[in-house]
Amino acid sequence: MAVKRRGRPLCEIETWIFDLDNTLYPASCRLFDQIHARMTQFIALRLGLSCEDALRVQKAYFREHGTTLRGLMTVNGVDPHEFLEFVHAVDLACVPPDPALAAALRRLPGRKIVHTNGSLRHAERLLEHLGIAEAFCGIVDIAAAGFEPKPALAGYHELVRRFAVAPARALMLDDIARNLAPAAALGMTTAWVRHAAEWAAVDAAGDHLDYVVDNLADFLAGAVP
């Protein structure tokens, strides 16, 4: 279910902040494979590259700029809205319904907010597809963060400002361990929703992780007495 390292007891949490991709649905469904493929296609078309060269650029920008989008904006002057609309035009059929997660979210007290490096429309589509949209009171997407991706601080500060979040009473969940370091620095409790990808485990040995979660539905269900 979860490995507790430290942090505020779950019964004291008032605001629950969720990453979207590979957190609110399992990474094993491989939806992100579609997104990655469309990123490669976008780069190939926009920069006039072969698919192989486009993939190399995509990976280099991810390493050097935090997201492929940030690299395209910085180096190539790409309109972020155009990029996001293209790469998020994906088929959600591979994402399975999760009645246990939906039930756990309904029972979970407090506010639920999404904080994602994706677009608002992508988040809205996924939440509707999963049948959990009504559980959430708001979304902070990459545009709201000034297109500065997690773990840059802009999105975290906007989240706290927009929703008047008290960090000491908030918990953030993310599948990328390093994205939880700023949340911990702000005083939030953190939960790493881990999966098999090596890149998601970078900095997982740090002391900024309070909980390590293998099954999100079970973790949330266990938070309710």
Amino acid at 120: L
- Residue ranges per domain, the chain? 2-26+97-221, 31-87
Mean pLDDT of 89-104: 96
Q: Is the pLDDT of residue 2 over 70?
A: no
Quick one: what percent of the chain has pLDDT higher than 70? 97
Mean pLDDT, the chain, rounded, equals: 93
pLDDT of 218 above 60: yes
Element (H or E) spanning 160, and its range? helix 154-163
DSSP 201-214: GTTTTSTT-SEEES
Class of domain 2-26+97-221: alpha beta
Q: Which pTM was predicted?
A: 0.92
Let me know: does 147 contact 79? Beta carbons within 8 Å.
no
| Number of other CB atoms surrounding residue 175 within 10 Å | 23
Burial (CB count within 10 angstroms: exposed 0-12, middle 13-18, buried 19+), residue 75:
middle
- The residue ranking higher by pLDDT, 101 or 204, is 101
Backbone angles phi, psi at 206, to 5 degrees: -70, 165
List Cβ neighbours of 174 (8 Å cut-off, separation of 6 or more). 19, 23, 150, 180, 183, 190, 191, 192, 193
Q: Tokens standing for 217? A: 């539905």
Which pLDDT band holds residue 1 (cuts at 50, 70, 90)? Answer: very low
Among 1.10.150.450, 3.20.80.10, 1.10.390.10, 1.20.210.10, name the CATH number for the domain at 31-87: 1.10.150.450
Over residues 66-87, the mean pLDDT reads 94
